[in-house]
Amino acid sequence: MVQKNITKSLSKSTKEKLVKDENLSQSKSVLISLRDLILSEEVEAGSSLRAAALADKLGVSRTPIRNALAVLESEGVVDYSHNCGYTAREFNMQDTLDAIEVRASIEAAAARTLAERGLAPEIENYAHEQLKAGREILEESSWSEESETTWYNLNYNFHRALIRATENRYLVKAVSFTLVSPILREGFKIESLSKKNGNITRKLEGIPAHIWESQVHHERLLKAIIAGESNRAKNLMFEHVMLSRDRIIDSL
């Protein structure tokens, strides 16, 4: 009864805003679900994406499905043609290597910008916290799958914080496009790539050398940005990201 009375007391504009927010929330949820279906390969590459079938699968109307498909086409996750409509895109290894190279250039530009402009105190503190937590994990006596996952999450947080700190929405969007590849979504875990290609996967007997290397890169990079060393920050970031590309090539 109380909830009913509260709803009645809402103004027309407030009610319209609540409906709009609910619609936006559903659209975002549908977009995330549909993207994951395709990138997890639950939807086979090259298969046709029919709005009616997808709506039934996700339990929603066709409208948010159509909106999501349009967004996914702009992201490069699906292809569209007048004859076939939307189809799930197939990602190959060259797509992944190309995406890393583009990402390296974009993140290098971001690092240079931040070094020239300076970091806001809250961003600087947050970046330091991620690096500190990462080093503490690496300095522990034991190393496990859980430790590795946690470190990769900290790695993601660090990179994302620097990109967003530029406050350049075009740059942020461009980086998100390079992270579409299913392999890149694994957080650059080369072990996952090795499993997909039937290669022998290492056992977790110690901290992988490239993770220690990345940790040191992050720490040097942040120091360069804070010191205003724009060219050094740019070069450090470019080399750091490109090493991910080298590791993928080596794993194959």
Q: Is the pLDDT of residue 153 over 60?
A: yes
Domain ranges of the chain: 2-88, 93-251
Specify whether the CB–CB gap between 129 and 158 falls below 8 A.
no
How would residue 78 be classed by pLDDT, with cut points 50, 70 and 90?
confident
Element (H, E) at 246: helix 230-251
Q: Is the pLDDT of residue 157 over 60?
A: yes
Q: In this predicted structure, what is the pLDDT of residue 167? A: 94
Q: In this predicted structure, what is the pLDDT of residue 223? A: 98
> Mean pLDDT across the stretch 230-244?
96
Identical fold, 2-88 and 93-251: no
Contacts of 62 (CB under 8 A, 6+ apart): 51, 52, 55
Task: Determine the Cα–Cα distance for residues 227 and 118; give it in Å rounded to an integer.
Answer: 9
Q: In this predicted structure, what is the pLDDT of residue 184? A: 53
Q: In this predicted structure, what is the pLDDT of residue 187? A: 44
Specify whether the CB–CB gap between 134 and 212 falls below 8 A.
no
Q: In this predicted structure, what is the pLDDT of residue 133? A: 96
Each residue of 33-62: b (16+ CB within 10 Å) or e? bbbebbbeeebeeeeebebeebbeebebee
Residue 246: both structure tokens together: 């080298």
| Residue 65: other Cβ atoms inside 10 A | 26
Amino acid at 48: S
Q: In this predicted structure, what is the pLDDT of residue 200? A: 33
> Mean pLDDT across the stretch 88-103?
86
> Mean pLDDT across the stretch 187-194?
44
CA neighbours within 13 Å on the CB side: how many for 43?
23
Average pLDDT for the chain:
81
Specify whether the CB–CB gap between 94 and 129 falls below 8 A.
no
Classify residue 130 by burial, with Cβ atoms within 10 Å: 0-12, 13-18, 19+: buried
The verdict on domain 93-251 having CATH code 1.20.120.530 is yes
Q: In this predicted structure, what is the pLDDT of residue 186? A: 45
Question: What CATH class does 2-88 carry?
Answer: mainly alpha
| Segment among 3-7, 81-85, 149-153, 202-206 with least mean pLDDT | 3-7
Task: Determine the Cα–Cα distance for residues 25 and 148; give it in Å rounded to an integer.
Answer: 32
Q: In this predicted structure, what is the pLDDT of residue 123? A: 96
Specify whether the CB–CB gap between 228 and 218 falls below 8 A.
no
Amino acid at 101: E
Q: Is the pLDDT of residue 166 over 60?
A: yes
Q: In this predicted structure, what is the pLDDT of residue 182? A: 52
Task: Compute the radius of gyration of the chain from its Cα atoms.
Answer: 22
Q: In this predicted structure, what is the pLDDT of residue 180? A: 67
